[in-house]
Amino acid sequence: EPEVTQTPSHQVTQMGQEVILRCVPISNHLYFYWYRQILGQKVEFLVSFYNNEISEKSEIFDDQFSVERPDGSNFTLKIRSTKLEDSAMYFCASSPGGTDTQYFGPGTRLTVL
Amino acid sequence: QQQVKQSPQSLIVQKGGISIINCAYENTAFDYFPWYQQFPGKGPALLIAIRPDVSEKKEGRFTISFNKSAKQFSLHIMDSQPGDSATYFCAARGTGRRALTFGSGTRLQVQP
């Protein structure tokens, strides 16, 4: 069964550094998402991406964040200058057209020191 | 207005019992209500979902009950098994939107 994959599984970075989290959505899916989950808290929506542009974003997704689909398979989330409060599990998700279901990847744990 | 409130925060059920998790929302523009199951170290996985035009949906041991007038929905797990031990999140999505708004999660422990 196809799955969303994410790399790395754990990323440790220093405050102020740039990080890029990578995701490979399920092939032929059209919608792509990033969510985050701070330890012990609920999952929060960051951004959705469709047809090579952002279709929706939350208040969390400020100018420090950006997303890109550099080729036909990868979907990335970049945080330009990480803050301590960016420490969280970041989940990528994708969904095909014509359905509501979002399929989540296993997540990347980002630790900002 | 965009919040989804979930209770209880944690739940312990004996094997074979019924697990019930409740969620409430305020935004009447929500039109899709999924439940996600999350095991430690894994991403959330869709368990079952409902739209507001029906009051109940059942898939195997899992049932969603939906009360549109009360703006509440709940997940019932019948014949709960130790393998059901996980964190469960309710969620909701606004009409015409893609973003899911998640509840705070319920950690379910099914004791053998």
Pick from B98, B102, B106 the residue to mutate for testing the A interface (most A CBs within 10 Å).
B98
Q: Which residues contact A7 (CB under 8 A, 6 or more apart)?
A: A22, A23, A108
Distance CA B82, CA B95 (A): 36
Phi/psi-derived region of residue B109, left when phi > 0, alpha when psi is between -120 and 50, beta in every other case: beta
Name the stretches of chain B with pLDDT < 70: 1-2
> Does B102 sit within 8 Å of A102, measured CB to CB?
no
Question: Using one digit for the tens of pLDDT, what is the confidence trace for B52-75?
Answer: 999 999 999 999 999 999 999 999
Q: Is there a contact between A16 and A112 (Cβ–Cβ < 8 Å)? A: no
Question: Using one digit for the tens of pLDDT, what is the confidence trace for A2-59?
Answer: 899 999 999 999 999 999 999 999 999 999 999 999 988 889 999 999 999 999 999 9
